[in-house]
Amino acid sequence: MQKKLAIGVCVLTLLAGGYATFQKTPEPTVSNNLRPNEESFSQSQPETISTSNNANHRQQTQMISRQDAIARAEETREVQRRSLIAKMKPLTQQMDLLSQRMVGRQQKISNLELQDNQLKSELETHNRNVRAFMMKHQAAVACMGATGVTLDENNQYSEDVKNVATAMTALCGFGVISNGEFRKQVIFVADQLNQAHNYSMNLTAQIKTNQTTLATEIKNLEQEQLEVSRLGTDLQNYETELADI
């Protein structure tokens, strides 16, 4: 019995000693070589994230700057376009007005040229008729001087009368020029020639006035054509600038 108790005590003692040994067994420690890596990782991770954020921020800033620059450039181009269009508008209006004016002026020139031709033709016809009248009344024309009948001063047909008188002097004998009826005929012829002269002078004045007006209109048309050409050149230059914007 005592032997059994002694054995039990020994077993308990051994168990108690093993338990104490187990309690004193030190915990495994982390190698010192591993600790710096953990600390380095823990320190480098925030730095990497910060660097990435900074890069993204710079990219966004650069993108915004480029967009702003593009927007400002487009605004500048738009201002330039509006400025050019504003300059072109009055030039276009001037060209339209000048074009309309030129059409009217060209029509007026055509009418003046037609009128000039008509007046000249009328004057030529009138002069032919006067000379035919003088040939028909040669005796009366030739004897104007002998009968004391004269034409108005500066009558353009005076030279024609002299020529007829020179050729027909023999017709103006005393018996002829003393005839009352013949004298009346001479007076009638002289009066007709004076009227013919006045009509001729009137036609000549109309021709002169018409030609002066025609020359003025032609000159004005040439100036308008030059102005239209200048405006066209300016417009073309503006259109080129507008296309280049």
pLDDT average per 10 residues of sequence, the chain (245 residues): 43 44 45 46 53 75 85 89 93 95 97 98 97 92 82 87 79 71 91 96 98 98 96 94 87
CA distance 232 to 111: 28
126 CB burial (10 A radius; 0-12, 13-18, 19+): middle
Residue among 9, 30, 8, 12 nearest 20 (CA) = 12
What is the torsional sign of CA 61, 67, 70, 75? negative
Three-state secondary structure readout of 147-159: HCCCCCCCCCCHH
Amino acid (1-letter code) at residue 157: Y
State residue 174's pLDDT score: 65
Tell me the two tokens of residue 36: 């710096």
State residue 47's pLDDT score: 56
* Structural domain boundaries in the chain: 92-238
State residue 68's pLDDT score: 84
What is the torsional sign of CA 110, 115, 118, 124? negative
Strand, coil or helix: what is 32? Answer: coil
State residue 19's pLDDT score: 41
State residue 13's pLDDT score: 46
Cβ pair 99, 228 in contact under 8 A: yes
State residue 34's pLDDT score: 42
The overall pTM is greater than 0.85: no
First-to-last C-alpha distance (Å) of the chain: 121
